[in-house]
């Protein structure tokens, strides 16, 4: 399964459930109107828009919003999701960078999308 397919399925599942589960809706409400740009340098750019009716997801947009931004490679992002933590050495070595987002936001967004594990095809 491709990276895009995994993220797309996570967004679809979220949109089907978020209104029904008050705990998820409460976390989601603080991100409404915002967007996350996830630039996977050896893959593509993914943008998640948090709207009143759920999350929309697009790949390789013409213009990325200037809101929450994360940049890393596939290997590091997959490890972040699988291990549920960011390794200090990845940050110190410049393997991951972000702006306008903090670790609490990363954890919240991962929980919203229920990203527990990513199966990414290696090229």
What is the CATH superfamily name and number for domain 3-113?
Answer: SCP2 sterol-binding domain (3.30.1050.10)
CB 54 within 8 A of CB 18: yes
The per-residue pLDDT for range 42-76, each reduced to its tens digit, is 999 999 999 988 899 999 988 888 899 989 998 99
The per-residue pLDDT for range 69-107, each reduced to its tens digit, is 989 998 998 887 777 677 888 888 999 888 998 877 877
* Of 111, 80, 115, the residue nearest 95 (C-alpha): 80
Is pTM beyond 0.75 here? yes
- What is the per-residue pLDDT for 114? 64
pLDDT tier for residue 120 given thresholds of 50, 70 and 90: very low
Q: Residue 10 to residues 54, 62, 82, 105, 111: CA-CA distances in angstroms?
A: 12, 23, 15, 17, 10
3-state secondary structure of 39: strand
């Amino acid at each position: 399964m491709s990276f895009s397919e995994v993220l797309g399925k996570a967004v679809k599942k979220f949109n089907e459930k978020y209104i029904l589960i008050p705990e998820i809706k409460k976390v989601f409400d603080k991100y409404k109107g915002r967007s996350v740009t996830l630039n996977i340098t050896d893959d593509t750019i993914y943008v998640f828009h948090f709207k009143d009716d759920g999350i929309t997801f697009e790949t390789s947009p013409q213009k990325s919003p200037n809101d929450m931004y994360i940049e890393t490679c596939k290997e590091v992002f997959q490890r972040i999701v699988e291990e549920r933590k960011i390794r200090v050495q990845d940050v110190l070595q410049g393997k991951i960078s972000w702006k306008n987002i903090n670790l609490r936001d990363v954890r919240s967004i991962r929980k919203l999308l229920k990203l527990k594990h990513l199966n990414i095809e290696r090229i």
